[in-house]
Structure formats: structure tokens, C-alpha cells
Structure 1
Amino acid sequence: MIGTLNALVELVESDSHEDLDVSGFARTHGTTEYHLRRMFSALAGMPLSDYIRRRRMTLAGAELVAGAPSVLEVAVRHGYGSSEAFGRAFRAVHGIGPVDARRDGGPLRTQPTLRFRLSVEGSTPMDVTITTIPELVLVGHAARVPLIHTGVNPHIQAHIAGIAPEEHLRLKQLSDAEPSGILAITGDIAPDAPEGTELTYLHGVSLDPDAPVPDDLDAIRVEAGSWAVFAASGPFPETLQNLWAATASDWFPSNPWRLRPGPSIVRYLEFTGTHASCELWLAVEQG
């Protein structure tokens, strides 16, 4: 996977004026666009689409400062059909317009070319179980919340706080399938969505596929397949967020599995508010 990501970076550099066929690239490298985008985002700290835009605007800025004949010429060379669209993208990256950059020489924000490296030390063993389960039916109370990568998500906290205590007990009683117990479920989001993107958060449980779903609950159905279950214990939410990062940097590059579309599930085995023992369930398939 590390080699594939570096090849993708090289493609971005060589085709800076064209729309990249990420799906075709993924197929030729024996993976999927979904997995590739998830791994890039997790390891680079930004979505692939953001990286492409930043690199193109970095190159465009250098051309303008060097005395390019016209803004439109630079815009077309980097895949933009109009000066207006190019100007919006340029300003979003550099904070100034292309005409200003051409006249004043900056200031410009540079996005260096990424290089992915894998450091394999084996100093932190990961407790991982691969399990295959039939169709998954997840039911509970859903809300649309923004994606927040670091720290507690106050929107999720507010959603959970708004659920009555007796409703939590009811959900626990409904749980009759793996993963058991109260679950924190996130889904309905692009594989490399930037922070702030809305996603569906479901506070709920897993039901037997044939069990009736109460009319007052939201439901997410997930096809049968394999799941990688990562266990962790420590300060909340840092331990869980670090575990997310470690799956991308340590586990997936070293194992013959890749992510498949599906929600992410967290099962809390013990939770005190500042400390948690939990399992992270990620939908996977053999790579």
C-alpha cells in the first residue's frame, strides 16, 4: 500500500492538468478506490482531493510569480475552464487572488510533494480479530453531525445526552446480535471527506436480520462480510483516535486486507467518561 500511495503521488505530479482516474489507478494496483482514498486521508492528514488542489495551486502560483503570460493560460494548464473557477481555488489555498500573486509575488502557501514511508518496528502489538458475520441490521437514534478528527465531538455528545435514560435501557434489551451492546456507529460519508463534512451518527444496537425494526427507530442495513475488530484501552477519546490512525499506518500496510464500504462501529466494553475499553469494527475484504 505504501508503494501504491507513492505511485499515486507521482501520478498527481505528472497529470497536474487533468482529472485523475483514481478508480482506474486503484484497479491497476490491485486495490479499490474506497480503500485507497481512506488510506491516503488517514496517513496524509488530508483528503486526496485537497492534496491534488493544493499541489496544483502550488505549481500555478510558481508559474504566475515566474511571469506567466496570463492567468487564463495558467488556469487552463491546471485543468480549470475559466479564470473565475481557478481564482476561487487559488484564493482558497493561498489566501490571495492569482492576479495579486502575479503582480506582487505572494505571499504564497506551498504544499510540498508527499512521500509515504513505512517504519516497521513491531513495538506496539495490535489486538485484532477477523470475524465474518451475516447481514447486519443496526438500529437506534440517528443524527447528522459534522466530522471532527481530534477531541470529543460535542454534536455527538449532545445527541446522546438528548436520549432519555429509559431509552438506553430499551436499546440494550433490543440488542440480540453481534456486535452486542450499545454501539456508536458512523456512516454515510465519503472515504476521504474533510473535517466538517456531515455524517450520520447512530446511537444504537445490532439486531438479528429477521427481527422486526421498531417504527420509531432508524435503521442501517449492512451486507454480510468480514470485519476487522481492533481492541484498545486507555484515555478517552485519545486512545480511540490513535487506534484509528494505527490501523492505517501499521495494520493495513502489513496485512492482506483492505477496507470495504460500510459504517464504522465502536463498541464500548467499559466507559467512565475519561477512560474507555473499546472495540473498533471496520468492514474489510481480502486484498
Structure 2
Amino acid sequence: MEWLSAMNRAIDHLEANMTQKLDIEEVAKLAFSSPFHFQRMYHMLTGVTVAEYVRRRRLTLAAQEIMSEVKVIDVALKYGYETPEAFSKAFRKMHGMSPSTAREPGTNLKAFPKLSFHISIKGDKDMDYKLIEKDSFKVIGKTKRITTHDGENLKLIPLFWDECMADGSYQRICSMAGAMGVFGICMDFEPNYEAFTYMIGVEDNGETPGDFSPAEIPAARWAVFESIGPMPGAIQKVWERIYAEWIPATGYQQEEGPQLEVYPVGDVPAPDYKCEVWIPIKK
């Protein structure tokens, strides 16, 4: 499968250039992808961002050199750290000790292995989807900046929903919901995909409460996937299948821009609750 070869080619390039500045555009080209699509795809498949993978691999390789009695300052500069202090801080965060302590006999260090992509045949059910062309539209709602570091987004987004339900924001949003219902929107991604803004909102009806933020969803061609089951587990599984199964099988790429979760007003924890994932795509 060409997709599989392309992703592994990108990983090989990262590994061969660990001491060089990360050029995400060059890496994405090797995977026949845009930088946005490659980084989003990579994170969804591996659970870490490209930048975080490179950081962990560099610190893994750096630890091996530290144990070989190479000078700390030389190792720090080799792996892109401007000062020994910055290197020591990052080293301690990953390995739980300073570089000098790592040289002591019997020290336990952490190793983050090189990743590779493989085909996994699961025999799962078909993945139904539909394509929709939709003009731009405006939304309003409550927003929160979310980090993807160490998979924190999977925890922070459900917590944000809980916060909005506890302070009454969700109830106010539901009272303003139109035909499509309530949106969960991922938007304003950082270039390295390590953070984005998440909005719980609705289509703008012309009245924006003072504590709500406005945004515009650009016109796009959307791939729409149905999720059936209690939140948030059901929709998280749909997201995983989109990147692990649907995109490799169809040849579509995700366009840069907002991504939508569309929640009809209803019994969200119910086992038969239906909602949708919308991603902007191109062939």
C-alpha cells in the first residue's frame, strides 16, 4: 500500500535527520501530504505529535551518548538545545534525572522507540460516510485552548463539557441550538498541531452573549461520519477509525480548517445516541 510506504518513508527521514532542525514541509512531502494533514494524521494514529516524537527520540539518543561519557554541552548542541540548562531541563522531564546522574552505574533511563506503520486487518464493520458541500456559516459559543501534549486533549475536552454543564453555559447553548444542534469545534490549530481552540457552540442567530466567542466556519466539502453510542467514548472511536481506516482506504486528505462534532439535542449518555463527525476534505 503506497500510503503505508509513504508514512514509513517520512519516519525514516525523521530518524535520519534527528540532529537537524525539523522541516515539517519536507517530511510531509515524503508522505504525499500537506503539513496540516500529515501532522493531524500522525497524531491520531500514534497519540503523539510529530514535534513530540522528535523531542522524545532526541532525548533517547542523547541519553545513550551521555552514558558514553560525551560532554553534556556537546550532546545538548548536537540535538538542538541552545544551552546545557535547556537540555538538562528537558532531559530531567523525560528521564526523571539530570544528565550527570544518568552516568551513574545502574541508572534506569527511558527509551522512546522508533515508530513504524503496519497494516492491521481487523475485519471490522463497514464505515459509512457521506459527502456534503456547505457554504460558510457563523457560530458562537464557549471556547477553551486545548493542548495535545501526551494525549491531554482526550481528557481536557470532556472536562470542558463538564465545566460548561456545571456553570449553565451548555444549557444556554442548547436553548439557542438550531436544526443542526450543538457543535464541538476544533479550530485555530498551532502549526505543529500541539494546541488548538475547542468551541462548544451553535450557529449564530444574530445575538452573541457577552461571554460567548464568535467564529466563522469556511465553505468546504465535508466528509460526514455517524457515531452511535454514549459520549465521549463512541465519538472518540469514530475519530480513530477515520484516520486509521477511512483516509488510508479512500485517498482523501483532510483540508486545513475547523473540524466539527455535531450533537443533536438529546440523551447524550444513551447507548443509541446519534451524532456526527465532520471533516473538511480533498481528494
Superposition TM-score, scaled by structure 1 size? 0.84
**Shift in CA distance, 57/164, structure 1 to aligned 2, threshold 3 Å:** closer
Deviations 1:57-106 (A, max 9, x none): 111111121232x1111222222222111111211211111111123453
- Number of the residue aligned with 1:184: 184
Deviations 1:202-229 (A, max 9, x none): 232235xxx7454644221122111111
- Number of the residue aligned with 1:97: 98
Deviations 1:17-56 (A, max 9, x none): 1112111332354311111011111111111111111111
- Number of the residue aligned with 1:278: 275
What's the secondary structure of 1:229's corresponding residue? Answer: strand
Q: How does 1:17-32 map to 2 (within 5 A)?
A: 17-32=19-34
What's the secondary structure of 1:265's corresponding residue? Answer: strand
- Number of the residue aligned with 2:118: 117
Among candidates 149, 154, 173, match of residue 159 of structure 2: 154
**Shift in CA distance, 64/167, structure 1 to aligned 2, threshold 3 Å:** closer
Deviation at 1:164, TM superposition (A): 6.2
Is the CA contact (8 Å cut-off) linking 2:39 and 2:193 kept in structure 1? no
Is the CA contact (8 Å cut-off) linking 1:17 and 1:79 kept in structure 2? yes
1:205 and 2:202 matched: yes
Is the CA contact (8 Å cut-off) linking 1:38 and 1:191 kept in structure 2? no
- Number of the residue aligned with 1:10: 12
Is the CA contact (8 Å cut-off) linking 1:260 and 1:285 kept in structure 2? yes
What's the secondary structure of 1:127's corresponding residue? Answer: coil
Is the CA contact (8 Å cut-off) linking 1:128 and 1:228 kept in structure 2? yes
What is the alpha-carbon distance in structure 1 between the residues aligned to residue 199 and residue 280 of structure 2? 16
1:61 and 2:63 matched: yes
Deviation at 1:7, TM superposition (A): 1.5
| Ranges in structure 2 where 5+ consecutive residues have no aligned partner | none
**Shift in CA distance, 163/86, structure 1 to aligned 2, threshold 3 Å:** same
**Shift in CA distance, 91/265, structure 1 to aligned 2, threshold 3 Å:** same
What's the secondary structure of 1:239's corresponding residue? Answer: helix
**Shift in CA distance, 129/86, structure 1 to aligned 2, threshold 3 Å:** same
Superposition TM-score, scaled by structure 2 size? 0.85
Is the CA contact (8 Å cut-off) linking 1:160 and 1:203 kept in structure 2? no
**Shift in CA distance, 109/28, structure 1 to aligned 2, threshold 3 Å:** closer
Is the CA contact (8 Å cut-off) linking 1:130 and 1:226 kept in structure 2? yes
Deviation at 1:148, TM superposition (A): 3.2
1:171 and 2:168 matched: no
**Please, what is the CA RMSD of the aligned residues?**
2.6
**Shift in CA distance, 124/192, structure 1 to aligned 2, threshold 3 Å:** farther
What's the secondary structure of 2:7's corresponding residue? Answer: helix
What is the alpha-carbon distance in structure 2 between the residues aligned to residue 264 and residue 191 of structure 1? 16
Q: Report the count of equivalent residues.
A: 274
What is the alpha-carbon distance in structure 1 between the residues aligned to residue 239 and residue 34 of structure 2? 19
- Number of the residue aligned with 1:249: 244
Is the CA contact (8 Å cut-off) linking 1:151 and 1:237 kept in structure 2? no
- Number of the residue aligned with 2:143: 142
What is the alpha-carbon distance in structure 1 between the residues aligned to residue 146 and residue 40 of structure 2? 19
| Ranges in structure 1 where 5+ consecutive residues have no aligned partner | none
Is the CA contact (8 Å cut-off) linking 1:41 and 1:48 kept in structure 2? yes
